[in-house]
Every structure is written in C-alpha cells, then in structure tokens.
A and B are shown apart, each in its own frame.
Chain A
C-alpha cells in the first residue's frame, strides 16, 4: 500500500508575533499537522525573496511567510514592506506557471495559537492533493 504523501512546509515566522503564536499553540497542547519546518526570523520584512525561492529549490512543497498584523510590527513598518514584497513574489511565481497554492502568507499574532494551527491545517490540506513540488526543486 502506498504511503500517503506528506508535504514539507517551510514556514518563515517572525519572532515577535508568529513564532510566539506557534509557541503558544505548542504550549497549549493544540494538535496540528507536523509537516512544518519553522524558521524564526526577526521580522517578516527581513525575509528576502531569495529565501523563498531557495526553500522551493531545496525541496519544500509549500512555503509560508507569517508576520504581525499591520500596525503591530515590533519594528513598526517591517510587515508593510513584507506585504509588498510577498505580493510581487506571488505574482512572479504565478506568471511563470508555478503552482501558486504552494506559497502563502498570513498574519498571526502572539496570542493567536489557534489561528496558527488553522493556517497550517488548511495549508496541508491544500498541498496534499498537489503532490511533491518538482518545478523548482533541485534535482542534480
């Protein structure tokens, strides 16, 4: 019997909000799929599009970028920059025919442990039928 495909998600989480939110989910013993590889960054605005392409290049099936809600950024403006840059990355990936469902962004605050688990659950559900990502994956 074939094993069910388990997508690998790389999640870039900002330290002050989203990463704290994911910690809250853990500490509260909330259950959510274990498919995520979390990477804590200082701010969603510090995420270079290069990291996103590199994550897909190394084999990620899905990439999530998550930051503070607009107005709540620890560095005041970082998430506003992220909003713009991620919009551009999304449009570019769509334009080259890359499956756009594989790349998502969310606002998750430090108190939103439940929201974090919902975001991950939804993401995994969307990725499972798509199968492994082969388009940008390095295959040397």
Chain B
C-alpha cells in the first residue's frame, strides 16, 4: 500500500530543507471527486496532497510550463522541482530526459506505484454505479476499489472501472525515481495491444468509416495537444502564424508563411492534424491516455498513437519510455529494418 503519510512526510522534508522550489502533486478539487494539480511551496500546505484512484492526470505536463517560466526569468531559481509520478508519468519523464528537454538534476522524482493496477475511468464508473453519484473513490484491498455514493460504500473489482490504458499498462510502477512509494506489482499482460484488436480486425472501408465518424466530431479545441507532455513545440504545425518575426522581416516573407492546415474544422483538415500529431509522437507517446480523457467529444485519440507504439515494437523492436539513453525512434535505424514495401 502506498502510504500517504510517508508521501506527505517526504514532501514536507524536501520543502523544509529547501531542496526544491515546489512540489507538483494532486489535491482535492471542487468538481465532484476529481483532483486538481497542486503546486505546494510551503511545508504547511503539504497536508493538501492526496493519492487515490482519481489521480489520473499526467503531471509531467507541468514540467514543460516550468521550463518555459524559467527561461523567461532573469535570475531563475536553479533548484529542482519535485513531482509525483505514476508509472506512465515516469515514462513521460524518461522521454523528456531522452530528448534532453529537461535535465535530470532539474527534477526530484517522487514515484508512486499504482496499487490495484491503475487509475479510474469516469465513464466506466458512471455506468457501473448506474445513475448514483460517486462521491469518493479509494484503493481497497488487493484488486478492489471502494466507491462511496450517497447510499454508502461498495467494493468494485478494479478491472471493471480502471482506464482502458491501465489494463494494457507495461509498468504499474515508476521506472525512474528519487523516492519510491508502494510495491512493484506487475500485471501479467498476454496482449499489451489488446485495445487495437477491434479496429485492426475491421475491413479497410470500415476502418475509414470509423475514423471519419470520429474526426467529423472534432472541434479542433487542441485539448489533446495541450494536455500532452510531449507536445512541447513552441510552434506547432497548425499554428504556423507563430513564426518569429522581427521589425526587419519583409512583408513578402510574412505573406508566404506556410499554412499547412486550414483553421476550419472540416474532415480533411481534422485528419491531417491528427495524423501529423500521431506521427510526431511515434516512439514518444507512452500512452498516458490524457489526450483521450481530455477530449470533450470522446474521440478515442489514444488508439492512433497506440498503433504506432505497436508498430515501433513489431517492426523495429523499439520500447518507448524505459531507457533515457536510447536514441529516438525516427532518428535511428537498424540494418535489419524492413524494406519489403520499397520498390
């Protein structure tokens, strides 16, 4: 069991010793049982930290903000930032380290093991409690979660309400850490890419119909991009008006900025945006599932990224997010890379 007291004690210690600037963790929010990201600067506030199955957010996203904030400061505080990470979050951290986006000494990693195998999926829970309002969700014994509704507590097998991605998780415990809380339990995975099976079994026409229906819903809010820790480009393909412009940039150059994708949320443009994003995340996406959770229209975005993760494994024997020293997927090659598709 992850001991919340231990977590708070460690948090208090590093703040009192002045070792870190602040701690990024989870605190209780005001939208039902959902948490909200906590940025704890003072040891007294450590009490606010929580850890339960509702802690689904991938907090490594805020390391990107921290880097940007630091870059703007004239005399930045050079101390590291502490962050609470689950297994998947720690793999996101590995990718950021692998790409040298952040340095190891800038982060103090408090790793928390996912007891009972993962975190909550709101929709699965809503369906399971059939209309009753869930007030609290806690870790139970072994593989059970305890859900409190207005009518009292019920124990539910974790598998029924865990997020889809958790059921395919390769690492329920952090793979990089300065402090480790909990036990290293690992799930036996017969098929780590199980969620892709349904789409892969469809015919070409059915697959197109499926994805077209999904992307027709897209309103290009870019929440999928904003919530992803790996989408840290200062200038995204879809926002190419952001080119750095100075007083000397001639009008012709400004007028010729390439617009890859029109702003209108029509099918073709939505597809190009999502396809480009999926390819840019090939070998970098660690399936934290945040893109899909954030999408207000329930588009199963992680299934695009998951497919490329599977191909990376099957075609190139590439595992994403375990080794910070391995080269990136698309900037490396093996002599044995397949070329049967090349004429």
Contact = CB atoms under 8 A, between A and B. Distances in A.
A137 B260 CA distance: 13
A87 B311 CA distance: 9
A99 interface: yes
Contacts of A27: none
Interface string B283-308: 00000000000000000000010011
Interface centre among B206, B275, B279 (most CB of A within 10 A): B275
Nearest to A115: B343
B278 interface: yes
B333 A81 contact: yes
Given A96-B275, A97-B205, A138-B262, A105 B268 contact: no
A46 interface: no
Interface in B284-343: 304, 307-308, 311-312, 315-316, 329-333, 337-339, 341-343
Contact of B260 (A50, A70, A106, A139): A50
Interface size bucket, A side? 35 or more
Contacts of B338: 87
Nearest to B267: A139
Contacts of A83: 333, 337, 339, 342
A88 interface: yes
Nearest to A81: B333
Contact of B200 (A95, A98, A135): A95
Interface in B253-290: 260-262, 264, 266, 268-269, 271-272, 275-276, 278-279, 282
B208 interface: yes
A57 interface: yes
Interface of A is mostly: helix
B311 A88 contact: yes
B202 to A, nearest CB: 8
A1 B185 CA distance: 70
B199 interface: yes
B264 to A, nearest CB: 7
Contacts of B269: 57, 138
A94 B200 CA distance: 10
B210 A70 contact: no
Contacts of A97: 202, 204-211
Contacts of B210: 97
A84 B166 CA distance: 29
Contacts of B276: 49-50, 53
Interface in A79-104: 80-81, 83-99, 104
Contact of B307 (A54, A84, A89, A91): A91
B333 A77 contact: yes
Interface in A86-140: 86-99, 104-107, 119, 122, 135-140
B264 A140 contact: yes
A80 B337 contact: yes
B343 A106 contact: yes
Contacts of B316: 84
A96 B207 contact: yes
Nearest to B330: A85
A97 B206 CA distance: 7
A99 B204 CA distance: 8
A84 B329 contact: yes
A54 B272 contact: yes
B343 A87 contact: no
Contact of B333 (A57, A84, A96, A98): A84
B343 A140 contact: no
6 contacts: A50-B237, A50-B260, A85-B330, A88-B312, A95-B304, A139-B268
Interface of A: 49-50, 53-54, 57, 70, 77, 80-81, 83-99, 104-107, 119, 122, 135-140
Given A54-B272, A84-B329, 19 more contacts: A50-B237, A50-B279, A53-B276, A81-B330, A81-B333, A84-B330, A84-B337, A87-B337, A87-B338, A88-B308, A88-B315, A88-B330, A92-B275, A92-B304, A95-B199, A97-B207, A97-B208, A98-B208, A105-B342
Interface of B: 199-200, 202, 204-211, 237, 260-262, 264, 266, 268-269, 271-272, 275-276, 278-279, 282, 304, 307-308, 311-312, 315-316, 329-333, 337-339, 341-343
